Amino acid sequence: MEGLPVTALLTTNLGEIPLLGRGKVRDLYAVDGALLLVATDRISAFDHVLATGIPGKGKILTQISLFWFDLLSSIVPNHIITANVTQYPSSLQAYSDQLEGRSMLVKQAAMFPVECVARGYLAGSGWKEYQSAGTVCGIPLPAGLLDGSRLPEPLFTPATKSGDGAHDENITFEVTADLLGESDAAELRRLTLAIYSKAAQHAEACGLILADTKFEFGRTAEGVILADEVLTPDSSRFWEAPSWKPGGAQPSFDKQFVRDYLEAIHWNKQAPAPSLPQEVVERTQAKYLEAFRRLTGRDLSL
């Protein structure tokens, strides 16, 4: 890749449109009884937003989410009203250059206060817990599994949502049931595993392994819906299927180059977060674009 095709959008500014908050990646606005989610090009690592963005990343994430929302609509409804900027309220039309391709007008929903995680493989915090206790979220697993091993069956391993930027905390199904009620906890487990199963099958057909992923659900007057983003490299571990080999970290389609760079410069993981060199930015952007192409079968113009 010869240089980057666009400038990174790190912060949106929609004038008088009420800003509800800025997350690590998304800016959230209130618009005529609905919500506007705008995915910026910010990138975080080790719970800090970095000084350098990845140009086009917000568009890539949004378009991947829209692909999955459509593919999964037979399993669970979602929060999308429209992602076509020309159909947005007139108050947003002046900001179409910031919104095109990277925003979604969505329904308001009462969000469940848990991250719904599905794991088909042992990795990340699950691997750490397994090493110390032989379990993941309190679920016993067979002895002898390795980092990257395929689990006997996909697991629902929820986590508490962190509101302050700290790490989410894995919890058991029983704790989830205490938080949400038995019926809602069981329904979220059912939906999480059903979505994971369909998504993993699609990924496999693309030569990818969906190792794990997390979903967010909410409730509207019509019932439970899938919300936020879905099955992007920011919320999921996608691995190359042909090169999968348990026994260590697997090459993935996410922030691997960023994390590797930050570890190499021995950053103390305290604010302020450092900026990234051009090569790391380009390689990370290319990886996100490759994930989009592999999963959707389409090219994306940034």
The secondary structure of residue 160, as a DSSP letter, is E
Query: DSSP readout, 104-144?
Result: EEE---EE-SEEEEEEEE--HHHHHHHHHHSEETTEE--TT
Tokens of 3: 């240089």
User: For 163, phi and psi rounded to 5 degrees?
Assistant: -95, -5
Tokens of 73: 């609509």
Q: What does the alpha-carbon distance between residue 127 and residue 219 come to, in Å, rounded to a whole number?
A: 32
43: left (phi over 0), alpha (psi -120 to 50) or beta: beta
Q: Is residue 255 packed enough to be buried (19+ CB in 10 Å), middle (13-18) or exposed (0-12)?
A: buried
Q: What is the pLDDT of residue 2?
A: 41
Tokens of 48: 């800090």
Q: What is the pLDDT of residue 163?
A: 58
Q: What is the pLDDT of residue 162?
A: 67
Question: Model confidence over 152-191: pLDDT tens digits?
Answer: 999 999 999 765 555 678 899 999 999 999 999 999 999 9
What is the mean pLDDT, run by run of 10 residues, along the chain of 302 residues? Answer: 67 97 96 97 92 96 98 97 98 97 97 97 93 93 97 96 68 95 98 98 97 97 96 94 94 87 94 93 94 95 82
The secondary structure of residue 94, as a DSSP letter, is G
Q: The pTM is what?
A: 0.94
Q: CA separation (Å) from 262 to 51, 89, 256, 280, 281?
A: 12, 41, 10, 10, 12
Report yes or no: 38 and 20 within 8 Å, Cβ to Cβ: no
Percent of the chain surpassing pLDDT 90:
88
Report yes or no: 127 and 137 within 8 Å, Cβ to Cβ: no
Could you give all domains of the chain from N- to C-terminal order, each with its CATH number? Answer: 9-108 (3.30.200.20), 110-240 (3.30.470.20)
Report yes or no: 126 and 87 within 8 Å, Cβ to Cβ: no
Q: What is the pLDDT of residue 1?
A: 38
The secondary structure of residue 20, as a DSSP letter, is E
Report yes or no: 35 and 105 within 8 Å, Cβ to Cβ: yes
Q: What is the pLDDT of the chain when averaged over all its residues?
A: 93
Q: What is the pLDDT of residue 254?
A: 83
Q: What is the pLDDT of residue 47?
A: 86
Q: Is the dihedral of CA 89, 94, 100, 104 positive or negative?
A: negative
